[in-house]
């Protein structure tokens, strides 16, 4: 079954374990959406320059045109944080403030929140019809998706951090009042330290996290795709990730099972019979070699290579069956292992076709 149901999505997030094919899959999805006439932005939050390898062209931190209707960009979360606050409070130097530093160091996934916040801004700006997000390896995807909930929890009323912010705000108000009094009595007004309304800043952050939570949970417009390969650990991680995602109130749109060993093209029963009996295999090799003038060892090596692929595929199919058993409700899409890396737009085009037209 090809990958379906993405045509009306405005946000597609691609997550999964390291090296399974997230960047390749997200690039292929972006190509497909652009082909279908939608203005598409492919965003990577992976600081490594893998997206450039995949697309075969340089990608900057601003939207870079790749093809008609397709742009790509790298998102640097710390730059986004700085920009976010600079935009809202140009003078105040919020991110350098000791209280902000202390509180934000206790906020799990602030980087991630800001990164998704930026995506949300991009989405709301309506410049693109669809945004496809390539997440960074391993546990990162989960911290990315859980950042809004985690931050909201910390900022929730009773937490210590929240009291620190409130306490500081009260202190600032008092200090401000004191300065005003001073101003009345003293003629020489000294430069006051900037008053930063931290209560408002962190309230804004909470509101932002809530909006982000909403749009991540919006099944009509947002889709989360998990990429995996048909092996034990990645399959187990995929099941764990699915559970964690459901705990966050989101659902997995589909699992892409990548790098599946392709089937043996010929009569598999015959191949199995040969491979199961060394004597049969040798007799076949001798006969084939005699008929073709080849070395029998060469024919035996061909049989062994074909059988190697057969066995690998058998193992892959077991893990695919396991995934089916454990996540029966989630759509699965199998992608073959290609002979070569999927790098550059040409090979990516073939991957795209296999993903959407198989
Ligand atoms: N089906 C496939 N057949 C062959 N090679 C593939 C396939 N899918 C991906 N690759 C190759 O595997 C490598 C890893 O793929 P990719 O970079 O997409 O994975 P990733 O999950 O984004 O990795 P990372 O976690 O490091 O970001 C790349 O070299 C890519 O070209
Ligand atoms: Mg990647």
Tokens of 56: 């075969």
Tokens 């092996």 — which residue? 231
Nearest to 163 by CA among 202, 194, 196: 202
CB count, 10 Å around CB of 242? 21
Could you give the 3-state DSSP secondary structure of residue 241? helix
Q: Measured between alpha carbons, how far is 73 from 45 in angstroms, rounded to an integer?
A: 9
Are the beta carbons of 256 and 26 closer than 8 angstroms?
no
Model pLDDT, residue 160: 58
What is each CA distance from 302 to 277, 286, 290, in whole angstroms? 15, 13, 15
Q: Is 352 exposed, middle or buried (0-12, 13-18, 19+ CB in 10 A)?
A: buried
What is the distance in A from the centroid of ligand 1 to the CA of 21?
4
For the Cβ of 350 lying below 6 angstroms from any atom of ligand 1, the answer is no
CA dihedral defined by 244, 249, 254, 258, rounded to 10 degrees? -30
CB atoms within 10 A of CB 165: 22
Range from 133-137, 146-150, 240-244 that averages highest in pLDDT: 240-244
CA separation, residue 214 to residues 219, 243, 285 (Å): 10, 19, 63
Task: Confirm if 57 and 346 have CB atoms less than 8 A apart.
Answer: no
First to last CA, the chain: 7
Residue 224: pLDDT over 90: yes
| Residues near 227 by beta carbon (within 8 Å), at least 6 away in sequence | 14, 15, 16, 20, 21, 22, 25, 255, 256, 258
User: C-alpha distances in angstroms, 182 versus 177, 294, 357?
Assistant: 9, 101, 74
* Pocket test residue of 14, 17, 23 for ligand 1, highest count of atoms within 8 A of CB: 23
Domain with CATH 3.40.50.300 in the chain: 11-156+195-261+337-357
**Arithmetic mean of pLDDT over the chain:** 83
Judging by DSSP bridges, how do beta strands 11-16 and 130-134 pair with one another?
parallel
pLDDT band with cut points at 50, 70 and 90 for residue 171: low
Q: Quick one: CATH architecture of 11-156+195-261+337-357?
A: 3-Layer(aba) Sandwich (3.40)
- For the cut 70, the answer to whether the pLDDT of residue 59 exceeds it is yes
Q: Which residue bears the tokens 């374990």?
A: 17
Please tell me the predicted confidence (pLDDT) of residue 209. 81
Closest ligand to residue 343's CA: 1
CA 155, 160, 165 angle in degrees (round to 5)? 65
Of these ranges, 32-36, 244-248, 354-358, the one predicted with the greatest mean pLDDT is 32-36
User: Which of the residue ranges 52-61, 66-75, 201-210 would you say has the lowest mean pLDDT?
Assistant: 201-210
Nearest atom in ligand 1 to the alpha carbon of residue 136 is: 27
Of residues 348 and 60, the one with the higher pLDDT is: 348
CB atoms within 10 A of CB 189: 9
pLDDT at position 90 is: 65
The model's confidence at residue 293, banded by pLDDT at 50, 70 and 90, is: very high
> Over the stretch 237-277, which tens digit does the pLDDT of each residue have?
999 999 988 988 889 999 999 999 999 999 988 888 888 88
Residue with the bigger pLDDT between 64 and 111: it is: 64
Query: CA-to-CA distance for 200 and 287, rounded, in angstroms?
Result: 83
Q: Is 316 in the pocket of ligand 1 (CB under 6 A)?
A: no
CB atoms within 10 A of CB 47: 11
pLDDT, residue 189, reads: 47
Distance CA 336, CA 349 (A): 14
For 184-205, write each residue's pLDDT tens digit: 555 544 444 456 677 777 777 7
Q: Which residues surround ligand 2, an ion (CB under 5 A)?
A: 22-23, 46, 50
**The predicted structure's pLDDT at residue 96:** 73
Q: Tokens 């397709």: give the residue.
A: 70
Query: Is the model's pLDDT at 230 over the cut of 90?
Result: yes
Instruction: Give the DSSP per-residue string, 269-304.
Output: HHHHHHHH-HHHHHHHHHHHHHHHT--HHHHHHHHH
pLDDT, residue 175, reads: 64
Is residue 20 in contact with ligand 1, taking CB distance under 6 Å?
yes
């Amino acid at each position: 079954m090809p990958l379906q149901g993405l045509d009306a999505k405005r946000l597609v997030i691609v997550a999964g374990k390291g090296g399974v094919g997230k960047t390749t899959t997200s690039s292929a999805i972006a190509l497909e959406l652009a082909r279908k006439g939608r203005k598409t932005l492919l965003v990577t939050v992976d600081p490594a320059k893998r997206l450039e390898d995949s697309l075969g062209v340089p990608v900057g931190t601003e939207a870079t045109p790749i093809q008609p209707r397709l742009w790509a960009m790298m998102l640097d979360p710390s730059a986004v944080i700085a920009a976010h606050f600079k935009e809202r409070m140009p003078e105040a130097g919020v991110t350098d403030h000791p209280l902000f530093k202390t509180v934000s160091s206790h906020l799990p996934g602030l980087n991630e929140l800001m990164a998704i916040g930026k995506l949300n801004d991009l989405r709301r700006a309506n410049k693109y019809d669809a945004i496809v997000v390539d997440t960074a390896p391993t546990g990162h995807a989960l911290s990315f998706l859980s950042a809004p909930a985690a931050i909201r929890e910390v900022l929730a009323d009773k937490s210590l951090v929240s009291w620190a912010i409130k306490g500081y705000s009260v202190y600032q108000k008092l200090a401000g009042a004191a300065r005003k009094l001073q101003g009345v009595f003293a003629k020489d007004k000294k430069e006051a330290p900037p008053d930063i309304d931290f209560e408002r800043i962190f309230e804004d952050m909470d509101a932002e996290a809530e909006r982000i939570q909403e749009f991540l949970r919006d099944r009509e417009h947002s889709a989360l795709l998990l990429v995996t390969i048909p092996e034990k650990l990645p399959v187990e991680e995929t099941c764990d990730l699915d559970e964690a995602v459901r705990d966050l109130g989101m659902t997995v749109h589909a699992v892409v099972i990548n790098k599946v060993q392709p089937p043996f093209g010929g009569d598999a029963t015959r191949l199995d019979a040969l491979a199961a009996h060394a004597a049969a295999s040798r007799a076949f090799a001798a006969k084939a070699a005699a008929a073709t003038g080849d070395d029998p060892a060469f024919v035996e090596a061909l049989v062994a290579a074909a059988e190697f692929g057969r066995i690998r595929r058998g193992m892959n199919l077991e893990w695919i069956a396991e995934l089916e058993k454990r996540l029966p409700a989630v759509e699965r899409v199998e992608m073959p292992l290609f002979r070569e890396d999927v790098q550059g737009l040409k090979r990516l085009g073939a991957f795209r076709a296999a993903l959407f037209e198989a």
